[in-house]
Amino acid sequence: MLNWRPVVDYELREIEFDRREIEYKQRMQQLQKESEQLKIEDEQRSIAHEQKMRQLDELDSKLDALLCSSSTSSTPPQSTPDNSEA
């Protein structure tokens, strides 16, 4: 009878330790899942950013091409007679 209490205490501590270990493993798994999800979201944002940058580059190229073609094909302004020539 004298030894009963320490054994029960030991078993309770062991049960508590096992419970905490299970909770720790569950938290670690959850953190890993969240980390993987954040990596996926980061990759998606990076891809979207690269696509937007490519679109901007294409638009810049088209704008440059339009500006170059309009400056080379435009007709020079017509001369207006000076008041001194009239």
d(CA 83, CA 86): 5
| Residue 81: both structure tokens together | 């007679």
Q: Give CA separation, 7 vs 4, 11, 14, in Å.
A: 5, 6, 10
- Report percent pLDDT > 90 for the chain: 63
pLDDT tens, position by position, 35-57: 999 999 999 999 999 999 999 99
Domain ranges of the chain: 1-62
At residue 29 the predicted structure's pLDDT band, cuts being 50, 70 and 90, is very high
- pLDDT value for 71: 74
